[in-house]
């Protein structure tokens, strides 16, 4: 079931060489420090320019995409995407989050299916994960009562390398959400250009209303089962929603008790260091987006939703660039500092939020200027930029209307699936910049690829490279400025070309 390291490395080398020779502009990128000037090549063909033709094998247009009650063929990329969405609905209609991810992504990929019909067949293959693991997590609470939760790990794609992806804890976590996040993570990890696959895991356990000992018991029980499927050079779990340094530390501690090997190439497995990098990368992507409009972060008023590790890291980096964070939020409501949250106030909020179960309301007692839940709706606060880092599906079309009416010029996701599908369309209609999570949350991959010696300069260079790849792809396929479409295309091309080299797997 698991390939040996030498064989897997050989397969990845074969895929990389095949991708590099057939699709030179989407092979793994050179170091950002390289100064060699290469001619600009088309993302899909050998030819230069956007509107060049490509040599197609007519046999792919003549092959049936599905064989069910007669052969089902397609004549255009849009028709192919509709067939793929219909197939996903037929098989997994009950998994709403997964269907939403499939639908929005396949619509973006239809131009690729037009230019090369073979990609539609690869997309059909990619809709099914390689492996989905669900298990029971039994743990004992402080009263001695046995509690049960569901544990998940989806190892979606290993075409580019070993699995890697976050762990999410929360009452909202279910099989459908894990499958959707795993699918999105294929494109997010693929667009970075690193040799890394896609996986996502978690549980419907809520860590925020549990004691420290209860969280530790749960994490140890969860890892006891998960350790059978993860490990160095196989699957690297990273921090996600509801999983901070302490949760990750408890899981890693249990992993070490069970397994002899817990490091790879001298780098600790499941490391909890550099947890600030993903949040910093979110801000750097916002900086790149503003640069295209000849603007900077200096003086921008920023609405931050959420108050977890990522939200606080976003605020930290915003302060570094002279922006003005205004808010943080959690289950109890939100706090607003009309004149902005400075470094000392951020330190106070971080101290409160690192205490398990503590709510933001406590911050009001330590600040004479803070407002709590005033006005009633956080989106009534005028702002320049919005960074949603809280619960999923927070930014709907109605929220977008409020933000746009109040002068907001951009929404940059600092968490997974913060913007709904109708919200995404509303952002496009109102001309508001949108930084999708599949692009902005690549900081964890950058951190792991470069290790603990990752400098701010290197992080900024890598964000610049990834952003330009995504922007160029969106422009090339007539979706200028649509980073979700560009990111989906770049990620898909890198994964799809590797899959074609591997055959029917």
Backbone angles phi, psi at 132, to 5 degrees: -130, 125
- The average pLDDT across 402-424 equals 94
Segment 53-56 long-range contacts (CB within 8 Å, at least 24 positions apart): 54/115, 54/116, 56/116, 56/117
Q: Is 280 left (phi over 0), alpha (psi -120 to 50) or beta?
A: alpha
Confidence band of 44 (pLDDT split at 50, 70, 90): very low
Confidence band of 210 (pLDDT split at 50, 70, 90): very high
Whether 3 has a pLDDT exceeding 70, the answer reads no
Least confident stretch, 167-171, 266-270, 350-354, 387-391:
266-270
- Could you tell me the residue ranges of all domains in the chain? 131-261, 277-431
Taking a C-beta distance cutoff of 8 angstroms, is the pair 215, 245 a contact?
Answer: no
- The average pLDDT across 101-130 equals 92
**Residue (of 505, 483, 436, 496) closest to 112 by Cα position:** 496
CATH architecture of the region 131-261: 3-Layer(aba) Sandwich (3.40)
- Taking the C-alpha atoms of residue 206 and residue 172, their distance in angstroms, rounded to an integer, is 9
SS3 per residue for 373-399:
CCCCCHHHCCCCEEEECCCCCCECHHH
Whether 39 has a pLDDT exceeding 50, the answer reads no
Residue 31's CB is within 10 A of a number of other CB atoms, namely 10
**Cα 496 to chain center, whole Å?**
18
**Residue (of 122, 44, 113) closest to 472 by Cα position:** 44
- Taking the C-alpha atoms of residue 484 and residue 488, their distance in angstroms, rounded to an integer, is 6
Encode 111-128: b = buried (16+ Cβ within 10 Å), e = exposed: bbbbbbbbbbbbbbebbe
239 or 57: which carries more pLDDT confidence? Answer: 239
**Residue (of 280, 278, 328) closest to 304 by Cα position:** 328
DSSP letter string, 19-49: HHHH-GGGSSPPPTT---------SSSSSSS
Which numeric CATH code is attached to 277-431? 3.40.50.720
**Residue (of 213, 189, 201, 92) closest to 151 by Cα position:** 201
pLDDT on residue 51: 39
Helix (H/G/I), strand (E/B), else coil: 98: helix
pLDDT on residue 25: 39
| Beta strand segments in 306-420, E | 324-325, 327-330, 333-336, 371-372, 385-388, 410-412
37 or 487: which carries more pLDDT confidence? Answer: 487
- Taking the C-alpha atoms of residue 322 and residue 18, their distance in angstroms, rounded to an integer, is 45
Fold agreement between 131-261 and 277-431: yes
pLDDT on residue 267: 61
């Amino acid at each position: 079931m698991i390939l040996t390291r030498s064989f897997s490395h050989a397969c990845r080398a074969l895929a990389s060489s095949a991708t590099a020779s057939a699709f030179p502009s989407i092979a793994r990128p050179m170091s950002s420090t390289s100064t060699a000037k290469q001619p600009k090549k088309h993302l899909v063909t050998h030819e230069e320019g956007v509107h060049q033709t490509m040599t197609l094998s007519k046999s792919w247009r003549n092959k049936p995409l599905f064989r069910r009650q007669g052969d089902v063929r397609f004549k255009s990329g849009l028709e192919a995407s509709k067939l793929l969405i219909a197939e996903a609905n037929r098989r997994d209609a009950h998994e709403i989050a997964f269907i939403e991810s499939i639908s929005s992504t396949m619509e973006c990929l239809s131009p690729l299916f037009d230019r090369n019909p073979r990609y539609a067949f690869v997309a059909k293959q990619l809709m099914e994960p390689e492996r989905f693991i669900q298990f029971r997590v039994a743990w004992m609470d402080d009263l001695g009562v046995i509690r049960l939760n569901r544990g998940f790990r989806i190892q979606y794609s290993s075409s580019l390398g070993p699995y890697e992806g976050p762990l999410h804890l929360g009452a909202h976590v279910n099989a459908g959400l894990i499958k959707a996040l795993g699918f999105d993570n294929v494109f997010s990890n693929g667009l970075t250009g690193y040799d890394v696959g896609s996986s996502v895991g978690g549980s419907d356990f809520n860590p925020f209303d549990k004691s420290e000992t209860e969280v530790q018991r749960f994490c140890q029980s969860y890892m006891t089962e998960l350790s059978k499927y993860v490990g160095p050079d196989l699957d690297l779990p990273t921090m996600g929603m509801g999983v901070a340094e302490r949760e990750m530390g408890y899981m890693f501690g249990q992993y070490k008790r069970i397994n002899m090997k817990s490091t790879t190439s001298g780098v600790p497995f499941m490391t909890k260091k550099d947890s600030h990098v993903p949040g910093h990368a979110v801000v750097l992507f916002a900086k790149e987006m503003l640069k295209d409009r000849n603007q900077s972060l200096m003086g921008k008023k920023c609405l931050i939703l959420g108050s977890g590790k990522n939200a606080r890291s976003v605020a930290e980096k915003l302060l570094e660039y002279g922006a003005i964070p205004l808010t943080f939020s959690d289950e109890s409501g939100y706090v607003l500092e009309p004149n902005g949250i400075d470094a000392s106030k951020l330190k106070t909020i971080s101290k409160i939020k690192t205490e398990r179960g503590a709510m933001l309301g406590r911050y009001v007692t330590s600040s004479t200027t803070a407002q709590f839940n005033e006005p009633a709706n956080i989106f009534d606060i005028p702002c320049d930029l919005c960074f949603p880092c809280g619960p999923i599906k927070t930014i709907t079309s109605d929220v977008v209307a409020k933000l746009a009416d109040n002068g907001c010029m951009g929404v940059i996701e600092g968490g997974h699936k913060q913007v709904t599908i109708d919200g995404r369309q509303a952002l496009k209609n109102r001309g508001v910049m949108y930084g999708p999570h599949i692009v902005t949350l690549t900081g964890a991959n950058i951190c792991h690829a470069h290790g603990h010696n990752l400098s701010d300069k290197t992080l900024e260079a890598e964000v610049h490279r990834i952003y330009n790849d995504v922007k160029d792809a969106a422009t090339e396929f007539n979706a200028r400025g649509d980073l979700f479409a560009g990111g989906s295309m770049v990620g898909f091309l890198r994964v799809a070309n590797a899959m074609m080299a591997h055959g029917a797997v």
